[in-house]
Amino acid sequence: MSIIVSNISKSYKKVKALQNISFNVKSDEIFGLIGPDGAGKTTLFRILTTLLIANKGAASIAGFDVITDYKSIRKNVGYMPGKFSLYQDLTVQENLQFFATIFGTTLEENYDLIKDIYIQIEPFKNRRAGKLSGGMKQKLALCCALIHKPKVLFLDEPTTGVDPVSRKEFWEMLKRLQGKNITILVSTPYMDEAALCDRIALIQDGQILEIATPEAIVKKYSKAIYNLSANNMFELINSLKEYKHNHSVYPFGEFVHYTDCRPDFNPTELKVFLESKNLTNIIIERTTATIEDTFMELSK
Amino acid sequence: MENNNVIKVAGLTKMFGDFTAVNAITFDVKKGEIFGFLGANGAGKTTAMKMLIGISTPTSGKATVAGFDVNTQPEQIKKTIGYMSQKFALYDDLTVRENITFFGGIYGLSREKIKSKAAILIDELGLENVANKLVGSLPLGWKQKLSFSVSLIHDPKIVFLDEPTGGVDPITRRQFWELIYKASHQGTTVFVTTHYMDEAEYCDRVSIMVNGKIEALDTPKKLKERFKVDNMNDVFLKLARG
């Protein structure tokens, strides 16, 4: 096991940021912490990277205890915080050299690890970090976090605020890092990124709702989900909420995801009800659950 | 149908020196429509939106917003539209009620009107228990819903939302979209700029900007059909990656 977390709790005054968090991450695994702002993801990252001390519980990273062996952990992990934390007034190259020196290494020593990423920012190597675009900053930050060939890489919301093209490229880079003896713990509020992890933990309000592979999490959703659409989205949602047999009604892009309380649900009956509400062009069809559906059901 | 368009844009262009940030874009937005305005970082969507909300003068081209010309009547536009952004929204060190009163005042509402609006708004959002609490102490999701409602306080014909729902949990995000559907149902046009593709799925129509130009404009359904993919993220990737 590369990361072992057992019964970690952390409070700030009245706020319980983390409550009894336990999970393990295997070597070479990409493990995703999936949850919204305020779920406790950053607090957990700070505890595991030895920047914060938990109130309760224990954790070890690459075999080192977060309290007693904190110095060893700092030498063996890479951490990319959610907020861009490189030196804005140093150039790309200066930032890399700075972090290499801090860790007693050189850009050349582990060049094979960062090569794929570095060549994308190399044309801008003399530009100050503060002047880079969002996607470029993110790539530089990843290079700096990898420069000492860490055993475990912590990425706290690396793709927040980044456009879909850069987001896709970033995940392709993570996939390439896998298999180079690096364990990756990554957090994200984007449910669609969960599918790219080997295993995920869904987290909300400081508690883990579920831990499994993305496929297994979706399979755990037991209800039949229907895609609904009609001529008027607002009236459709209101009517479905009025329908006494509804279990859940959630807007979902161009559709509404609907589940019914009854095991013998008959879509025709619902259609008749919606027609009585003067809705037209009604479509009701079965669909499959997504990680987001599971998340909402678990946090309900 | 012509008069039904509350935003009309024709050949709108903005240049910074030699660089063309917005390159002759043309489109219309209908009354009550939820219009998604998408683009990668640097595609020009913020520059385009700044022209539409009257805080940046076009280099060339025409646009009217709620009947006012962006070239000659930017002040009227600012008074007529609502605006909400994730970055700038409410004052954290004012209470919920103070924020509502402040923004009502900014838009020139009478004291009576502000009072009645505040009561309705607090009731609709279920904020009775926190009305006198500082906004900074509220969860992000509540702030976003309040911020959206405050942007509608002067009954604007159009509300501009600048990346409105990042970071909140999936249930809260859906409650936010229900507020948007409601505003749209009541006839308010909702103009959403975003690079979160899951937000794009909720829009009636979306435009996608690439390098200063609008490269696609249609309903999410038709765009997905055209590019033979099953989500807007893949539509975006196909367009932006060329």
CA atoms of B213 and B207, how far apart (whole Å): 10
Of A234, A250, A254, the CB nearest to B181: A234
B77 contact partners, CB below 8 Å, separation of at least 6: B52, B53, B54, B65, B66, B68, B70
Confidence (pLDDT) at B1: 45
Chain A positions in Cβ-Cβ contact with residue B124 (cut-off 8 Å): none
Q: Which domains does chain B have, with CATH numbers?
A: 2-241 (3.40.50.300)
Residue A20: CB atoms within 10 A of its CB come to: 14
**Distance between CA atoms of A6 and A114, rounded to whole angstroms?**
32
User: Given CB atoms, is B220 within the 8 Å cutoff of chain A?
Assistant: yes
CA Rg, chain B, in Å? 18
Instruction: Give, in order, the Cα–Cα distances in Å from A138 to each of A21, A52, A114, A128.
Output: 28, 24, 13, 14
**Which chain A residues contact residue B170 at CB under 8 A?**
36, 191, 250, 292, 295-296
Q: Which residues of chain B have pLDDT under 70?
A: 1-3, 88, 242
Kindly determine whether residue B167 and residue A36, on different chains, have CB atoms separated by under 8 Å.
Answer: yes
Q: In sequence order, which residues have a C-beta less than 8 Å from that of residue B200 and are 6 or more positions away?
A: B36, B38, B194, B206, B220, B232, B236
CA A43, chain centre distance (Å): 14
pLDDT at res. A163: 80
C-alpha dihedral, A220 to A221 to A222 to A224, nearest 10°: -150
Please give the Cα distance from B168 to A35 (Å, whole number): 9
Minimum mean pLDDT range among A99-103, A293-297, B42-46, B69-73 = B42-46
Mean pLDDT of A266-291: 96
> Using a CB-CB distance cutoff of 8 angstroms, which residues of chain A are in contact with residue B40?
163-166
Element containing residue A168 per DSSP (H, E): helix A164-177
Residue A33 has pLDDT above 90, yes or no: yes
Those residues of chain A whose CB sits closer than 8 Å to some CB in chain B are 35-39, 133-135, 160-166, 168, 189-192, 204, 232-235, 237, 250-254, 292, 295-296, 299-300
Strands ordered across the beta sheet of B60-65: B19-30, B5-16, B60-65, B68-69
The Cα-based distances of A285 to A104, A248, B30, B42 in angstroms read 60, 16, 30, 39
Measured distance CA(A267)–CA(A61) in Å, rounded: 51
% of residues, chain A, pLDDT over 70: 100
Across-strand partners of B161? B84, B192
- Name the residue of chain A whose CA is nearest to B201's CA: A253
Which of B95, B54, B59, B61 lies closest to B78 in space, CA to CA? B54
User: Residue A19: enclosing H or E segment and its boundaries?
Assistant: strand A15-25
Please give the interface size between A and B, counted as residue pairs whose CB atoms are below 8 Å apart.
Answer: 89
* Beta carbons within 8 Å of B240's beta carbon, 6+ residues apart: A163, A164, A165, B40, B43, B208, B210
Q: Which domains does chain A have, with CATH numbers?
A: 3-219 (3.40.50.300), 225-299 (3.30.70)
* Interface contact A165-B40, CB threshold 8 A: yes
Higher pLDDT among residues B85 and A149, named by residue: A149
Residues A143, B148: Cα–Cα separation, whole Å: 39
Tell me which chain A residues have a C-beta less than 8 angstroms from the C-beta of B169: 35-36, 39, 204, 295, 299
Q: Give A271's pLDDT tier (boundaries 50, 70, 90).
A: very high
Q: Over range A186-190, report the average pLDDT.
A: 89
Looking at chain A, which residue has its C-alpha nearest residue B181?
A234
pLDDT surpasses 60 at A63? yes
Q: Which residues 6+ apart lie within 8 Å of A238 measured at CB?
A: none
Which residues share a beta bridge with B206?
B36, B218
pLDDT band at A104 (very low <50, low <70, confident <90, very high): very high
Measured between beta carbons, the chain A residues lying within 8 angstroms of B229 are none
Question: At A108, is the pLDDT very low, low, confident or very high (cuts 50, 70, 90)?
Answer: very high
Kindly report, residue by residue over A198-227, the tens digit of the pLDDT. 999 999 999 999 999 999 999 989 899 999
Please give the angle made by the CA atoms of A160, B54 and B104, to the nearest 5 degrees. 80
Contact B221/A165, CB-based, under 8 Å? Answer: no
The number of residues making up chain A comes to 300
Q: What is the mean pLDDT of chain A?
A: 94
Please tell me which of the candidates B140, B171, B221 has its beta carbon nearest to residue A296. B171
Once rounded to an integer, what is the mean pLDDT over residues A257-268? 95
What ipTM was reported for this prediction? 0.87
Cα-to-chain-centroid distance, residue B170: 20
- pTM of the prediction? 0.88
Of the candidates B238, B214, B211, the residue with the CA atom closest to the CA atom of residue B224: B238
Q: Does B177 touch chain A (CB under 8 A)?
A: yes
Distance from C-alpha of B236 to C-alpha of B242, rounded to nearest angstrom = 10
CB contact under 8 A, B233 and A164: yes
Tokens of A25: 């991450």
Contacts 24+ apart (CB under 8 A), A127-132: A127/A91, A127/A92, A128/A88, A128/A89, A128/A90, A128/A91, A129/A86, A129/A87, A129/A88, A129/A89, A129/A90, A129/A91, A129/A92, A129/A95, A130/A88, A130/A89, A132/A92
